[in-house]
Amino acid sequence: MRISHFLLATLKENPADAEVISHQLMLRAGMVRRLAAGLYTWLPLGLRVLRKVENIVRDEMDKSGAQEILMPAVQPAELWQESGRWDQYGPELLRFKDRHDREFCYGPTHEEIITNLIRNEIRSYKQLPINLYQIQTKFRDEIRPRFGIMRGREFLMKDSYSFHLEQSSLDETYELMYKTYSNIFNRLGLKFRAVLADNGNIGGSRSHEFHVLAESGEDAIAYSTTGDYAANVEVFEDGVKAGDPSPDGKSVLDIARGIEVGHIFQLGDKYAKAMGASVLDEDGKSATLIMGCYGIGVSRLVAATIEQNHDKNGIIWPESIAPFSVALLPMNMHKSQRVREAAEDLYNKLQAVGVDVLFDDRKERPGVMFANAELIGIPHRIVIGERGLDKSEVEYKGRLDEKSQNISIDRIIDFIIG
C-alpha cells in the first residue's frame, strides 16, 4: 500500500477525552473515529487489524470443528418472550417497533435465535453434538460506554452455541472451547488468564472468563499466589480482598486487573426447556437438549492487545495482527531518482512474496515518517537512502530493537520473511 493512496489519519496531540492508553493510541494512529457514545467507525488502518483478529478467531473455531453461520442482528420480541428474557433483560436491550407495530430488539446476544433454529432443524440424536458460531455486530445500550471500542455499545463478537443430549458431551465441547480460546489468545501474543466466573443474566451453571491482564482492566481477578485458583471477584458474595484465604485451601489470594475478552458457559437446559428444543434419543423418546455458549469480544481484543503492547512512541503490534508487516521509508525519494528506483523495486518484490508493506511515498521529512511508522506500530522498518545505496545496503530496525542495522539489499527480503 502506498501511503499517498491510504487514509492515514494520525493525530499529533493526545485526544483529551481518551482515558486509557489503547483508546488514545487508536485515535492517534487513526484506527477509529467516534460517531456517538459507544459508536465507532473503523478506518482502513483499524479495520485491517480487526479483520486479522477476526480471521484468527475464525481459523481456530473452524479447526475445532465448529461451523460458521450468520444470524440476523434484529430479533423478534416473541422469542425473547418465550425464554422469559424480554422482561428480565434491562435497558441494555435496545427495543423498537417495525411499521406494523411489532416489537423487535437489536441482538445483544443470540441464545433465543439459535435455540429457535436448532429446534426446527435438529430432529435426531444422531445430528448431535453440534457447535455453530458467528462473527457479528452486537448492540448493548451500555449505561457507561467508555474506553473507546473497549466498552462500546455496538461491537463485534464471536458467539458460538453448542447442543448436546449428554452432560459428558457438553463437558467435552466446553473443554475444547477452553483450549480453542487459549490457542486464539496465544496466537495474538496476549498474556491472559482463565478465571472462574459469575453467570450474570445469562443463566446456567459452569463458566470461565478469559482475561487479558492489564492495569486498565475493569474487572478484578482474585488469584491464588501459589496454586492454580483464579476467579472474578464478582463470584464472591462479599467481594474479596488481597490476603484472604484461597478457596482451594492452599494459599492466600492476591488481586490483579483484567480485561474480559472471552467467556464460556454451560447453560444446561435453560433455553431448550423454555423454548421446547428436543430431539428423539436412541430409544425414540423425546429428550430436551442441553447447551453451551461461548463468546469472544473480537473488537475489544484489538484494544486489549494495545494495552499490553505499547511504548512511549506508540503501538507495538504482534506480527500476527499488524496492519502492515513492513514500513518502507525512502529518504528524499522526491529528489533522488536512485532512491526512488530502489524503493519502488523493493516495494514490488516485497509485495510479490506476499508481505504487507506500507510504502511511505509522501513528500515528508524523515522524522515524520519514522514517528508515524512507530505510532501505528509496524513490526519492521526498512529505510532506503543514498548513503546506504552506495554500499548496496538498506537500514533495518525491528519495532522493539534499540538500534538499527545495515543489511544488504539483496538479503533484506529473506531477512524479513526468514
User: Which residues of this chain interact with ligand ATP, rule CB under 6 A?
Assistant: 109, 140, 142, 151-152, 155, 157, 200, 260-263, 295, 297, 299-300
Residue 399 interacts with which of Mg ion, ligand ATP, none, CB < 5 to 8 Å by class: none
Q: Check residue 211 for interaction with Mg ion (CB under 5 A).
A: no
Q: How far apart are CA 382 and CA 397, in angstroms?
A: 7
CB of 88 to ligand ATP, least distance (A): 14
CB neighbourhood size of 130 (10 A): 17
* The three cell numbers locating residue 54: 477476526
Residue 309 interacts with which of ligand ATP, Mg ion, none, CB < 5 to 8 Å by class: none
CB of 289 to ligand ATP, least distance (A): 21
Task: Match 491510504 to its residue by C-alpha cell.
Answer: 6
Counting residues that bind Mg ion (by CB under 5 A) gives: 1
Q: Are the C-beta atoms of residues 68 and 53 closer than 8 Å to each other?
A: no
DSSP classification of residue 138: E
CB of 201 to Mg ion, least distance (A): 10
Comparison of 110 and 381: residue with beta carbon closer to ligand ATP: 110
CB of 303 to ligand ATP, least distance (A): 8
Among 158, 164, 263, 399, binds Mg ion (CB under 5 A): 263
**Given the rule CB under 5 A, which of 98-106, 126-134, 237-245, 256-264 is the region that contacts Mg ion?**
256-264
Residue 164 interacts with which of Mg ion, ligand ATP, none, CB < 5 to 8 Å by class: none
Residue 258 interacts with which of ligand ATP, Mg ion, none, CB < 5 to 8 Å by class: none
Comparison of 129 and 152: residue with beta carbon closer to ligand ATP: 152
Comparison of 197 and 373: residue with beta carbon closer to ligand ATP: 197
The DSSP bridge partners found for residue 255 are: 222
Comparison of 263 and 270: residue with beta carbon closer to Mg ion: 263
Cis peptide before 108 (omega within 30 of 0): no
Q: Which of 130, 66, 138, 78 is nearest to 102 (CA)?
A: 78
**Given the rule CB under 5 A, which of 123-131, 171-179, 255-263, 270-278 is the region that contacts Mg ion?**
255-263
Q: How far apart are CA 65 and CA 180, in angstroms?
A: 10
Give whole-number Cα distances, 7 to 1, 42, 249, in Å: 11, 11, 56
Comparison of 154 and 361: residue with beta carbon closer to ligand ATP: 154
CB of 155 to ligand ATP, least distance (A): 4
CB of 269 to ligand ATP, least distance (A): 20
Q: How far apart are CA 412 and CA 366, in angstroms?
A: 21
Comparison of 201 and 313: residue with beta carbon closer to Mg ion: 201
CB of 218 to Mg ion, least distance (A): 11
Contacts 24+ apart (CB under 8 A), 77-80: 77/102, 77/103, 77/104, 77/105, 79/112, 79/113, 79/115, 79/116, 79/275, 80/105, 80/112
**Given the rule CB under 5 A, which of 17-25, 86-94, 262-270, 325-333 is the region that contacts Mg ion?**
262-270
Residue 407 interacts with which of ligand ATP, Mg ion, none, CB < 5 to 8 Å by class: none
* The three cell numbers locating residue 357: 508493506
Q: What is the CA radius of gyration of the chain?
A: 25
Q: Are the C-beta atoms of residues 77 and 116 closer than 8 Å to each other?
A: no
Q: Which of 252, 251, 223 is nearest to 235 (CA)?
A: 223
Q: How far apart are CA 180 and CA 397, in angstroms?
A: 34
Comparison of 140 and 380: residue with beta carbon closer to ligand ATP: 140
Comparison of 297 and 379: residue with beta carbon closer to ligand ATP: 297
Comparison of 210 and 370: residue with beta carbon closer to ligand ATP: 210
Residue 385 interacts with which of ligand ATP, Mg ion, none, CB < 5 to 8 Å by class: none
CB of 139 to ligand ATP, least distance (A): 9
Torsion angle of the four alpha carbons 80, 174, 186, 198, in this order, in degrees rounded to the nearest 10: 60
CB of 386 to ligand ATP, least distance (A): 48
Give Cβ neighbours of residue 13 (< 8 Å, ≥ 6 apart). Answer: none
Residues that bind Mg ion (CB under 5 A): 263
